[in-house]
Chain A
Amino acid sequence: DAGVIQSPRHEVTEMGQEVTLRCKPISGHNSLFWYRQTMMRGLELLIYFNNNVPIDDSGMPEDRFSAKMPNASFSTLKIQPSEPRDSAVYFCASSLARKASGGFYNEQFFGPGTRLTVL
C-alpha cells in the first residue's frame, strides 16, 4: 500500500512567487492534515479536512496561505505571494477516523514532507 504522497519533495523559489504543494492521502482515509515544521516553532497544524470539508483552519498563518481538497484523493496548499519566512518543511498527513471504545480513534500517517526554501 502506498503511503501519503507529497510533491514536490523540495522546492526552491523566489520571494513573491506562488508556491503550490500537493498531497495524495492514503486511499480510503477520510481526514487530511497540513503541518508546518520549523526550528523556531516546531510542528504546527495549519489546517485539516474531514470528508473534504475544512474543519479547523485556525493554524493558517495569514491570507497568503490557502488550502483546498477538491476530492478525497487530492489536496493542495498554496502560498501566494511567498516570503522567506515561509521557508519550512510542510507535511501532509491522513487518517481514517473510526469508532473505537471510548470514542473515535484515528492514527495519522505522515507523508515525507516538502522542504520549501523561499529566497
Chain B
Amino acid sequence: AQTVTQSQPEMSVQEAETVTLSCTYDTSESDYYLFWYKQPPSRQMILVIRQEAYKQQNATENRFSVNFQKAAKSFSLKISDSQLGDAAMYFCAYRRGARSEKLVFGKGTKLTVNP
C-alpha cells in the first residue's frame, strides 16, 4: 500500500522568509500524481500545487514551488516570501496512476508564520 510521510509535525517561518516542508512517499508505481493541500483554521482544504510523476520539471505556482526527486521519492514544498495568510496545516497527498482517483494523505505539517 502506498504511504505518505511528513516528518515535520510543526514548522515556523518569519514573514517574508522562505520555508521548505518535507514529504516522502512509498510506491512501486511509475505513474502517479503528487499534491500539496493547505488547510487554514477555517478547515477548508485548498489545493496548492500538483506534480505529475512523468514530468521532470518541478511545478511552480506563484510563491509555491516543489522539489520533486523521483528516485528518492521525495516531494518537498517551498514557500517563498512567506505571508501571514500562509499559516495553516499543509498536507502532502499521493494519487496512483492516471485513472485512480483515490488520494492518500500524509499526517500534515502545521506552519506558523511569525510577523
- Residues in A lying within 8 Å of B, measured CB to CB: 31, 33, 42-45, 48, 50, 55-56, 89, 91, 93, 95, 97, 102-108, 110, 112-113
Q: Do A104 and B54 touch across chains, with their CB atoms under 8 A apart?
A: no
Q: Do A48 and B105 touch across chains, with their CB atoms under 8 A apart?
A: no
Q: Do B101 and A42 touch across chains, with their CB atoms under 8 A apart?
A: no
Within 8 A of A (CB), among B6-51: 31, 33, 42-47, 50
Q: Do A45 and B45 touch across chains, with their CB atoms under 8 A apart?
A: no
Given the known A-B contacts A42-B105, A42-B106, are A108 and B47 also in contact in the complex, defined by CB atoms under 8 Å? yes
In the assembled complex, the Cα of A104 lies from the Cα of B52 at a distance in Å of 11
Q: How many of B's residues come within 8 Å of A, CB to CB?
A: 23
- Answer whether residue B68 sits at the interface, using C-beta atoms and an 8 A cutoff: no
Given the known A-B contacts A89-B43, A107-B47, are A43 and B99 also in contact in the complex, defined by CB atoms under 8 Å? no
- Residues in B lying within 8 Å of A, measured CB to CB: 31, 33, 42-47, 50, 52, 54, 91, 97-99, 101-108
Chain A hits for B43, CB < 8 A = 89, 112-113
Q: Do B101 and A103 touch across chains, with their CB atoms under 8 A apart?
A: no
Q: Do B91 and A31 touch across chains, with their CB atoms under 8 A apart?
A: no
**Further contacts, 13 of them, CB under 8 A, given A45-B104, A91-B45:** A33-B101, A43-B105, A48-B101, A50-B101, A89-B43, A95-B101, A102-B52, A103-B98, A103-B99, A107-B50, A108-B101, A108-B103, A110-B45
Chain B hits for A106, CB < 8 A = 101
Chain B hits for A55, CB < 8 A = 101
- Write the nearest CB–CB distance from B109 to chain A, whole angstroms: 11
In the assembled complex, the Cα of A28 lies from the Cα of B107 at a distance in Å of 31
- Write the nearest CB–CB distance from B5 to chain A, whole angstroms: 11
Provide a sorted-by-A list of 23 A–B residue pairs whose CB atoms are within 8 angstroms: A31-B101, A42-B108, A43-B91, A43-B105, A44-B105, A50-B101, A55-B101, A89-B43, A91-B45, A93-B45, A95-B101, A102-B52, A103-B97, A103-B98, A104-B98, A104-B99, A105-B33, A105-B98, A107-B47, A107-B50, A110-B45, A112-B43, A113-B44
From B44, B54, B97, B103, A45 is in contact (CB under 8 Å) with: B103
In the assembled complex, the Cα of A89 lies from the Cα of B43 at a distance in Å of 9
Q: Do B44 and A112 touch across chains, with their CB atoms under 8 A apart?
A: yes
